[in-house]
Structure 1
Amino acid sequence: MIFIQLFISFLKIGLFSFGGGYAALPLIQDQIVSFHQWLSLGEFTDLITISQMTPGPIAINSATFVGLKVAGFGGAIVATLGCILPSCIIVSALAYIYLKYRKMSLLQGILGSLRPAVVAMIATAGVAILNTAFFNNTATLHLDMVFLFIAAVILLQYKKWNPIAVMVMCGVAKVVFYMIGGILV
């Protein structure tokens, strides 16, 4: 039964997650945290971090991780297959349609109208992640996380640091904050 639940849950995610990994985050959170409660919100935040650090799309990495945690190696395979199956079918069909009708203005209009929805889904995921990082399911603001966020934005946007270096720096800083009792908390 768990294999069927994993497959159907990640089939839904794969079917409705237009716009890439960040756009899929609200769908993934809804299925694995809210509906099935396979992970807590804190574990979901860790899942996002792990998915970012490993090669591959976020949704597929999430499917593999959740499947492995919930039902072992077989669960990882079933969840991953559920996640990629819709994409394989949809992309094949869309490639055929696009190649056949690519000059039509109606098709161009449809593709253009999907962009705002994708941006909204990405923004929703970003706000949820920031909320979890800054408040961690409590009413207390974690100033160390706010500081790390602001520092990361400055280093990435204004100093043009390498994103990997910024991630490593933030990870080391958080470990240091934890070891000395949270300077800013």
Structure 2
Amino acid sequence: MLKNLAKLFFIFLKIGAFTFGGGYAMISLIEVEIVDKQKWLKSEDFVDIIGVVQTIPGALAVNMASFIGYKLFGIPGAISAGLGVITPSFIIILAISILYNQFKNMELVNKFFMGIRPAVVSLIVVAIIKLSNLIEKNVFNVFIFTGSVIGIVLLDIHPIVIILTAAITGYLTESRRGKGHAKH
């Protein structure tokens, strides 16, 4: 158990240290490490975890790490994964806050961040593509996807409202389907 907790800590430490752009940029990296390499979770469970942690207040990366750690190894797993993912950010933010005034106008620093931005966007796009491949292509899911995009982009509805509405719609739809199947 201790070996797995250490491995979990270092997986999330590595992800936290080398991923810029927040939780969404980390999704594909977490999936590769936890689902593909370690085979600790199935892809379907991973997608469910993403859905659940988006409804919880707080940083997506910390919520994902803690939830995955808890699901795998209970409270010690949640602590191990959570500490792993926040440690690099804590150290980096501390260093930046100490050195910010000295380096804020350096051309090298600005160029560094100009290079990181497109890479972060690509990580998010990869996560979107991978997640979309795990979703069944049917009328209901296309409706939920399209409605969600319209709600967020055009109507400026908060993502939490979209997620909760989709969850309730899914529950009601599946409940009706279940009743319909029970009659046959």
Range of TM-score over shorter length? 0.7 to 0.9
Q: Counterpart of 2:150 in 1: which secondary structure?
A: helix
Q: Which of 152, 158, 170 is the aligned partner of 1:156?
A: 152
Q: Which residue of 1 aligns with 2:61?
A: 59
Residue segments in structure 2 that go unaligned for 5+ positions in a row: 179-184
Q: How far off its partner does 1:160 sit?
A: 3.2
- Answer yes or no: is the 8 Å Cα contact 2:31–2:46 preserved in 1: yes
Q: Deviations along 1:89-147, whole A, 9 cap, x unmatched? A: 122223334321222222211111211111111111122222222x3xxxxx2321111
Q: Which of 111, 135, 143 is the aligned partner of 2:139?
A: 143
Query: Structure 2 length as normaliser, TM-score?
Result: 0.87
Moved more, 46-55 or 157-166: 157-166
Moved more, 152-161 or 80-89: 152-161
1:87–1:156: structure 2 CA closer, same or farther, 3 Å change rule?
A: closer
Distance 2:23 2:144 in 1: 23
1:170 and 2:166 correspond: yes
1:34–1:148: structure 2 CA closer, same or farther, 3 Å change rule?
A: same
Root mean square deviation, CA, Å? 1.7
Q: Which residue of 2 aligns with 1:74?
A: 76
Q: Counterpart of 1:181 in 2: which secondary structure?
A: helix
Distance 1:132 1:142 in 2: 12
Q: Counterpart of 2:40 in 1: which secondary structure?
A: coil
Q: Which of 94, 97, 100 is the aligned partner of 2:102?
A: 100
Question: Would you identify which runs of 4 or more consecutive aligned residues in structure 1 move more than 4 Å?
Answer: none
Q: Counterpart of 2:41 in 1: which secondary structure?
A: coil
Q: Which residue of 2 aligns with 1:88?
A: 90
Distance 1:160 1:19 in 2: 22
Percentage of matched positions with identical amino acids: 36
1:164–1:78: structure 2 CA closer, same or farther, 3 Å change rule?
A: closer
Q: Which residue of 1 aligns with 2:23?
A: 21
Q: Counterpart of 2:177 in 1: which secondary structure?
A: coil
Q: Counterpart of 2:48 in 1: which secondary structure?
A: helix
Moved more, 101-110 or 6-15: 101-110
Q: How far off its partner does 1:155 sit?
A: 2.5
Give runs of aligned pairs for residues 7-46 of structure 1, distance below 5 A.
7-46=9-48
Residue segments in structure 1 that go unaligned for 5+ positions in a row: 136-140
Query: Structure 1 length as normaliser, TM-score?
Result: 0.87
Q: How far off its partner does 1:165 sit?
A: 2.9
Q: How far off its partner does 1:148 sit?
A: 0.9
Distance 1:161 1:76 in 2: 31
